[in-house]
Amino acid sequence: MSRAFCAQLAALALLVAAGAQGGAQAAATVTPLSDGGSDAASSLVNTLLAAQPGLSVVAGSASYSGQASASGLFSNGGLGANGLGIDSGVVLTTGDARFIGSSAAFEGDAANQTGTYTAGVGNALTPNTSGGQALLSSLTTEPTFNASVLSFSFVPQYARLSLRFVFASEDYNDLVNSGFPTDVFGVFVNGVNQALLPGTQLGISASTVNCGGPTSDPAGGLGGSCSLYRDNAPFYDAIDTELDGLTVVMNLQMTVNPGQVNTLSIGIADTLDTMGDSAVLLAAGSVAAVPEPGTWALMLGGVAALGVAARRRRA
């Protein structure tokens, strides 16, 4: 190995280390669904399930409704200051899923573009032509379009189901406080949306999670939601994604019926028109049925007691 090549390797190692510490970081990599069939839906569901999910998926129940290119798997999302907050998992969008991986260069609608960009992933995207969907339409008085919905049925051992996600949208900040409707997103347990702004009955969207919009006090934001919001205004490149605004990582805890068949549907849709796409990032391994808090306390008490016993053995 030549000395010059060694120096190049060392420089590369330094660059990699800088990236790992939250400096420069490549955008997320997206693998869109090859088709919208049941095998593809199962692969998404299996990605979401924890190693010990505390539930059994009903065989053949996984289904995906929407355009194949709108959803898929992602990796390298990034956990640092300019990352998405979730490193890998499932992405559902109202456009072409790959648009989340481009840099924040476009204010407009990359996936339903009509023009050609000078460079970048925007030129390779597939326009989304899928329609709306009833579950998502239940969240708005407006018509829905480009809906992407992943569903499956399961029998949980416990009464609570967990899911970690980040909602993100090109509706930020143009439509916030504008009077125009924003895109809808829901996590439905047996048909009822559980993805609500904490302490409210409001669904999570650009309208409900923000720090005020173009025409309002920047210190605003509904119900203190500003603390849940990460701004990514175009051209500033604060976060390495095309999406103009994101929620922080949301830890959803949902009530389910233990020992019975439940259905989970996770979906997102454009409202009013197909423009200004939105996305939801679902964390790999974050779906699990978990015991009630009281049971957790007992389990943790048990773990602590084991720790004490171990220390006594070592002493």
Tell me which residues touch Ca ion (CB under 5 A).
94-95, 112, 128, 146, 183, 242, 244, 270, 274, 276-277
Please report which helix (H) or strand (E) contains residue 108, including its range.
none
- Toward Ca ion, which CB reaches closer, 33 or 288? 33
- Toward Ca ion, which CB reaches closer, 222 or 233? 233
- Toward Ca ion, which CB reaches closer, 110 or 187? 110
41-60 b/e (C-beta count within 10 Å ≥ 16 → b): bbbbbebbbbeebbbebeee
Handedness of CA 292, 293, 296, 301 (dihedral sign): negative
Structural contact between residues 140 and 272, judged by C-beta atoms closer than 8 angstroms: no
The position carrying tokens 């053949």 is 60
DSSP string, 236-297: T-SSSSS-SEEE--EEEEEE--TTS-EEEEEEEEEESSS-S-EEEEEETT-BEEE--HHHHH
- Toward Ca ion, which CB reaches closer, 83 or 276? 276
Cβ at position 214, least distance to Ca ion in Å? 15
Cβ at position 258, least distance to Ca ion in Å? 37
- Toward Ca ion, which CB reaches closer, 210 or 274? 274
Cβ at position 103, least distance to Ca ion in Å? 9
Cβ at position 302, least distance to Ca ion in Å? 48
Burial class (CB in 10 A: 0-12, 13-18, 19+), 268: buried
Coil vs helix vs strand at 172? coil
Structural contact between residues 163 and 287, judged by C-beta atoms closer than 8 angstroms: yes
- How far apart, in Å, are the Cα atoms of 170 and each of 206, 244, 264, 277? 9, 5, 26, 5
- Toward Ca ion, which CB reaches closer, 48 or 239? 239
- Toward Ca ion, which CB reaches closer, 168 or 187? 168
Strands 55-57 and 29-32 come out as: unpaired
